A and B are shown apart, each in its own frame.
Chain A
Amino acid sequence: MNSILEGFSEAFGLLISLDPDLIEIVLLSLRVSLTAVFFSALIGLPLGAVLAVAKFPGRRLMIVLINAFMGLPPVVVGLVVYLLLSRSGPFGVLGLLFTPTAMIIAQTILITPIVASLTRQSISDLWLAYRDLLHSFDASPMQIMRTLLWEGRVSLMTGILAGFGRAIAEVGAVMIVGGNIDRATRVLTTAIALETSKGDLGLALGLGIVLVTIAIVVNILTLSVGQVVGGQSLEGRAP
């Protein structure tokens, strides 16, 4: 009980004082997770659209796999990326282990299935609604996917936010491939794990509250972008 109160006062203190160490950790967390979100959107949006629209052998299997991979345990992703990037692994020569780049790679792998799977679902629904219309325009598959992705942008944003939420909150993968190195690869979640292991539960909870606050801020910012973009689309679509 004491620790919970302590946590809130720690969080308040941390946010008020703008402790430079904390800012560094927060900025690295955002940089790693937002970059991972960027790349997973780059891969996941087209992949989800192709799976929704195109017909090809193995499509069902891919959908099943991608849905299943939404539940990839972060620690397993971390372990696999570690084995790949380890000096003794196939990509060891790149020297990426214990760098933010390694953390971005791990989180991208972790959240791309989420973005792809949710994209496929949204685009499938839209495809059902617009199929006849788009066929009547004789649109090419490329045009179809582009149109559907644009039309579904608001719900796609939710998928991307789900990916961001998972990335910023996971600790298992970044702990293994980043190493939680002070001033180099320490992010909010690994710092929380560290403080918990030191028995400094108040500070740990304080950092946790900071993390949740950041997630809320990012969601609010995205929502306002979504409203602006989404609003225009409704006007444009009005008959």
Chain B
Amino acid sequence: MWLFNRFILALLFAILLVAPRVATAQENSITVAVTTSFENSGLAEVLLPQLLEDTGLEVRLVVVGTGQALKLGENGDVDAVLVHARQAELAFIEAGFGTERIEIMYNDFVIVGPSGDPAGIRDMSGVAEVLGQIATTESIFSSRGDDSGTHKKEISLWALAGIDAENLEAPWYRSTGSGMGATLNIAAATDSYILTDRGTWISFGNKQDLQILFDGDPPLNNQYSILLINPERHPYINMEGARLFADWMASERGQQVIGGYRLEGEQLFHPNASMAGGPS
């Protein structure tokens, strides 16, 4: 019996020791905080291996909401930030947390709702009109309510319809305080309208009765940018790696990969980095 006992102990320790030694921060790797919508689109799985092949740079993604991503950048916990919240990004540079903002690509938001379309928005022509109609008919709308890039976008779209969504207290307007996926799960369960980015929507696996009811209006476009962290504030960050990452993403090569990415047959991202003028 003692032998058996020793064997078990040895086994437990073996698991402890043999368990994979995790890629310790190599010189040629950077950590980038990205938004959930970027990760959910699946683009990273195509982009990052290509980047590794071309430049030898390994990018490790920390996937968080825009608010947290900017905070990680501000604290110097990541080497670069890839987000979509123009105002907050400009404020980030303004405050000296970052040195540069490089526009990379855009995708778009869509308004999703129950296929029965109780508010009747399907054939409308502008997003302001659509949101106004949802408010007038008091149809249930699920909002992220988490200060993410998508949430900030949603607030700005409500403003187009003349509605102050941040201070809106109405039973039909539900602030979930959760990520995109969690909020989509809630919307699917409650048959509500919701604003989501197209990439997350296409790859989302629990659509139930929801479908895209409105898209294609220019205010729904969603610009992604890379922010480079200020090395004067955080001298230990891998500035060279971050620079290499941003340059490659904005290069003709990177822009081609972005524009060529398809999810279930649909192009998700439209490259628009200014320095490369890649195909669109």
Q: Which of B5, B31, B205 is within 8 Å of A199, CB to CB?
A: B205
Which residues from B are CB-within-8-Å of A27? 15, 18-20
Which residues from A are CB-within-8-Å of B22? 28, 99-100, 183-185
A221 touches B12 (CB 8 A): yes
**Bound CA span A108–B2, Å:** 30
Q: Does B55 contact A (CB under 8 A)?
A: no
A199 touches B185 (CB 8 A): yes
**Bound CA span A128–B19, Å:** 42
Q: Identify the interface centre among B11, B179, B203, B206: most chain A CB within 10 Å of its CB.
A: B206
* Nearest Cβ on chain B to A186's Cβ, whole angstroms: 10
**Bound CA span A87–B74, Å:** 10
Q: Does B40 contact A (CB under 8 A)?
A: yes
**Bound CA span A28–B22, Å:** 9
* Nearest Cβ on chain B to A222's Cβ, whole angstroms: 8
Closest to B36 in A: A197
Q: Which of B2, B36, B205, B236 is within 8 Å of A95, CB to CB?
A: B236
Interface of B is mostly: mixed
Q: Does A127 contact B (CB under 8 A)?
A: no
Given known A-B contacts A34-B12, A199-B205, A97 and B180 have beta carbons under 8 A apart: no
Given known A-B contacts A88-B75, A95-B25, A225 and B8 have beta carbons under 8 A apart: yes
B205 touches A201 (CB 8 A): yes
A98 touches B77 (CB 8 A): yes
Interface range on chain A (Cβ under 8 Å from partner)? 35 or more
Which residues from B are CB-within-8-Å of A185? 22
**Bound CA span A36–B236, Å:** 28
Q: Does A107 contact B (CB under 8 A)?
A: no
Q: Does A180 contact B (CB under 8 A)?
A: yes
A181 touches B61 (CB 8 A): yes
B206 touches A87 (CB 8 A): no
Given known A-B contacts A199-B205, A199-B207, A228-B2, A31 and B16 have beta carbons under 8 A apart: yes
**Bound CA span A78–B207, Å:** 32
> Besides the contacts A93-B236, A97-B77, what 16 more A-B pairs have beta carbons closer than 8 Å?
A27-B19, A27-B20, A30-B19, A34-B15, A87-B75, A95-B25, A179-B63, A196-B181, A196-B182, A197-B182, A199-B184, A199-B185, A199-B204, A221-B12, A224-B8, A225-B8
- What would be 15 A-B contacts, judged by CB atoms less than 8 Å apart? A28-B22, A34-B12, A88-B76, A182-B60, A185-B22, A197-B40, A197-B179, A199-B188, A199-B205, A201-B185, A221-B11, A224-B4, A224-B8, A225-B5, A225-B8
Q: Which 10 A-B pairs have the closest CB atoms?
A: A197-B181, A199-B206, A31-B19, A87-B76, A179-B62, A199-B205, A27-B19, A88-B75, A228-B5, A199-B204
Which residue numbers of B lie inside 8 Å of A, CB to CB?
Answer: 1-2, 4-5, 8-9, 11-12, 15-16, 18-20, 22-25, 31, 36, 40, 60-64, 74-77, 179-182, 184-185, 188, 203-207, 234, 236-237
